[in-house]
């Protein structure tokens, strides 16, 4: 390997600079000095005989050669991490790491309960939970940065051949109202009543907002006629705003269990309409699946699933 013109440390530095946008912030994130970072980049450029960064602007921008090296470098670093985790697995769950991903609502309300059960059975395994958008989560699974994930949105079309998507559980999206709202006294409301409400909603570009609009449309409810009083960027903010009497909202039932038990929110039933979305489990069948991931798939996922799962590596590979 003496003829390889870069080291793993140099690839880590390149990745950090690209992510942070500056040499100084990259140095801080890696706990080294900025001169040390600069020297490593200079050595790397000299070894490759190409510039990797445009020096003109305030932000560190990769050249075409820099983007190319970063693309391959991320794959190399990912394989190195995968190798280390495979070796850790020889200890048979007496250590190692499980990395789970999720989209926003699922990661906030469902995954913590699942991880808690897993930790009781396997206390020596470290668990990381990465909560991001469905798109970013899917790419992390495809790149091997996450073992498996539970998502509520659509996987990007370009990843359909790279990852396995399995239906997991139906998640009901509940209409919530302030407990003192006049509709809270009724057993159910009519579709037309929705147009009389003032809604608190997530941003129009969010996955859940799009899913809600699609499901309402299939139920002959026009989401464009709903009066959106306010758009917020978090479920917790929406729940608190509804509780304060400022409007109604659609949220996952998993997000309101505590509030319903405490009696601070009312879940309204809509005559003839149940708003549901499908949550899916995604894995990359072509990447190494750790014993921790296999244990999570075998022991934890079935406890919450409403669909049969086949997530062991051998089964997934045979299906792909």
**Phi-psi domain of 201 (left: phi exceeds 0; alpha: psi -120 through 50; beta: other):** beta
pLDDT in tens, 270-289: 998 888 888 999 999 988 88
pLDDT at 13 over 50: yes
pLDDT in tens, 187-237: 999 999 999 999 999 988 777 788 788 878 888 889 999 999 999 988 999
What pLDDT does 319 receive?
A: 35
What pLDDT does 318 receive?
A: 31
pLDDT in tens, 17-49: 998 888 999 999 999 999 999 999 999 999 999
As a three-state string, the secondary structure of the chain is CCCCCCCHHHHHHHHHHHHHCCHHHHHHHHCCCHHHHHHHHHHHHHHHCCCCEECCCCCCEECHHHHHHHHHHHHHHHHHHHHHHHHHHHHCCCCCEEEEEECHHHHHHCHHHHHHHHHHHCCCCEEEEEECCHHHHHHHHHCCCCCEEEECCCCCHHHCCCCEEEEEEEEEEEEEEECCCHHHHCCCECHHHHHHCEEEEECCCCHHHHHHHHHHHHCCCCHHHCEEEEEECCHHHHHHHHHCCCCEEEEEHHHCHHHHHHCCEEEECECCECCEEEEEEEECCCCCCCHHHHHHHHHCHHHHCCCCCCCCHHHHHHHC
pLDDT at 309 over 80: no
pLDDT at 313 over 60: no
Query: What would the mean pLDDT of 62-80 be, rounded to a whole number?
Result: 90
Banded pLDDT at 308 (limits 50, 70, 90): low
pLDDT in tens, 246-266: 999 999 999 999 999 999 999
pLDDT in tens, 293-307: 999 999 999 998 876
Cα separation of the two ends of the chain? 34
User: How far is 150 from 29, CA to CA, in rounded Å?
Assistant: 29
Residue showing tokens 């190409």: 50
Q: Which two tokens stand for residue 23?
A: 């040499």
What pLDDT does 311 receive?
A: 56
pLDDT in tens, 121-160: 999 899 999 999 889 999 999 988 899 999 988 899 999 9
167 strand-pairing partners: 280
């Amino acid at each position: 390997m003496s003829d390889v013109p870069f080291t793993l440390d140099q690839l880590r530095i390149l990745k950090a600079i690209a992510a942070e946008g500056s040499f100084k912030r990259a140095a801080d994130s890696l706990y080294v000095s900025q001169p040390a970072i600069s020297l490593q980049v200079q050595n790397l450029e000299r070894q490759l005989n190409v510039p990797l960064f445009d020096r003109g602007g305030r932000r560190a921008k990769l050249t075409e050669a820099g983007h190319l090296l970063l693309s391959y470098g991320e794959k190399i670093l990912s394989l190195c991490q995968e190798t280390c985790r495979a070796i850790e697995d020889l200890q048979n769950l007496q250590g190692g790491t499980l990395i789970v991903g999720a989209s926003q609502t699922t990661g906030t309300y469902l995954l913590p309960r699942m991880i808690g059960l897993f930790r009781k059975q396997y206390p020596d395994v470290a668990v990381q939970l990465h909560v991001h958008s469905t798109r970013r989560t899917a790419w992390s699974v495809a790149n091997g940065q996450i073992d498996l994930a539970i998502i509520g949105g659509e996987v990007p079309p370009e990843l359909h051949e790279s990852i396995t998507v399995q239906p997991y559980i139906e998640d009901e999206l509940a209409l919530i109202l302030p407990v003192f709202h006049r509709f809270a006294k009724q057993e159910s409301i009519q579709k037309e009543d929705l147009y009389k409400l003032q809604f608190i909603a997530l941003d129009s570009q969010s996955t859940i907002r799009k899913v809600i609009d699609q499901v309402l449309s299939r139920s002959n409810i026009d989401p464009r006629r709903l009066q959106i009083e306010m758009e917020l960027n978090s479920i917790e903010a929406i729940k608190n705003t509804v509780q304060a009497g400022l409007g109604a909202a659609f949220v996952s039932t998993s997000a309101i269990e505590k509030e319903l038990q405490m009696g601070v929110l009312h879940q309204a039933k809509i005559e003839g309409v149940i708003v549901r979305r499908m949550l899916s489990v995604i894995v990359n069948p072509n990447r190494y699946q750790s014993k921790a991931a296999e244990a999570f798939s075998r022991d934890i996922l079935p406890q919450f699933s409403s669909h049969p799962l086949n997530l062991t590596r051998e089964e997934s590979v045979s299906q792909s």
